[in-house]
Amino acid sequence: MAGVLLSEAEKTFILHGVQSDLRNDGRSKQDYRPMELELDIVTHANGSARVRLANTDILVGVKTEIDVPKPEKPDEGKIEFFVDCSANATPEFEGKGGEDLATEISNFLSTSFNSGLSFDLKSLCILKEIQCWKLYVDILILECGGNLFDAVSLAVKAALHNTMVPRVETMAMDGGNVDLQLSGDPYDCWRLDIKNVPCLVTLTKIGEHLIVDPTAEEENCSMASLVLAVTEDGRINSLSKTSVGSFHPHTLTEGLKVGTEVGIRLNKALKEALEKEEKRLQADKPERSGFLK
């Protein structure tokens, strides 16, 4: 994680703050910082979203491509995550510096999307054993202000919601080859079902307490974090522990309970925001804010 340097006294101050449930910015243990969402800001992607969580800035683009299904899963499509840590976020990401973090995030996302209960890969199938859709989810980390996992997952879910997959019109078998014809109308598309797509909730352990949405400074004070992938109805899809520290069984069970609750709230908030943004985009010429405004 992006290293910020802190003195012992600052760490003590943060630790005591968490103990008295009043963090440095006035939040309690289970509060999120203000978030901002914008959909459809990359014109050449099938779906895109940008999420800004205080100082963490994430841009996600989704591209679709036609591919051959895996032989062991002939009736399923594919989804692939690629994380790019921009060196603009922190100088440590320069060169290969961000690679470990990038693999960690993309691996965790793949495991959370792997189950048929979270994302229906079968809907991406075009012709069994022969052709399927492949989704490339490109995640760009533009700024690092703590709590990357949560912000990335929100942006991914929003971008998948925004994704338009072109409709395939006709299929003609020509010997062993398949000929696909895409619909002539570029707006003739279908949307992905993201109802069960999980949001990630990071619970950072500071002292004996668990907090959500840690700032970069708070992450520095913590020895271990728990990342949960929680769906809208409160199911935990996958779970992982990051960094070197360990959890007491009691803290872990408590963390699962808190994380589920927070996850449900987070999913709900995202759903509301997506509906509102969708309404705005349907207007005649929706304005785009992007980065420069």
CB of 223 to another protein, least distance (A): 17
CB of 75 or CB of 278, closer to another protein:
278
CA distance 197 to 124: 15
What would the two tokens of residue 229 be? 């992938």
CB of 191 to another protein, least distance (A): 19
- Alpha helices, H only, 226-284: 249-281
10: enclosing H helix or E strand: helix 8-19
Quick one: 95 exposed, middle or buried, by C-beta within 10 A (0-12, 13-18, 19+)? Answer: exposed
CB of 78 or CB of 265, closer to another protein:
265
CB of 140 to another protein, least distance (A): 16
CB of 8 to another protein, least distance (A): 6
CA distance 87 to 100: 14
What would the two tokens of residue 213 be? 């949405």
168: enclosing H helix or E strand: strand 168-174
CB of 112 or CB of 215, closer to another protein:
215
CB of 50 or CB of 205, closer to another protein:
50
CB of 111 to another protein, least distance (A): 24
CB of 76 to another protein, least distance (A): 31
Coil, helix or strand for 186? coil
CA distance 118 to 125: 16
CB of 76 or CB of 213, closer to another protein:
213
Where do contacts with another protein occur on this chain (CB under 8 A)? 5-10, 12-13, 16-17, 20, 22-28, 30-38, 50, 154, 262, 265-266, 268-270, 272-273, 276-277, 280, 286-287, 289-290, 293
CB of 10 or CB of 84, closer to another protein:
10
CA distance 54 to 243: 23
CB of 96 or CB of 293, closer to another protein:
293
- Comparing CA positions, the residue from 202, 192, 196 lying closest to residue 235 is 196
CA distance 230 to 264: 7
Torsion angle, CA of 176/135/102/4, rounded to 10 degrees?
Answer: 170
CB of 121 to another protein, least distance (A): 27
Residue 220 dihedral angles phi and psi, to the nearest 5°:
-65, -30
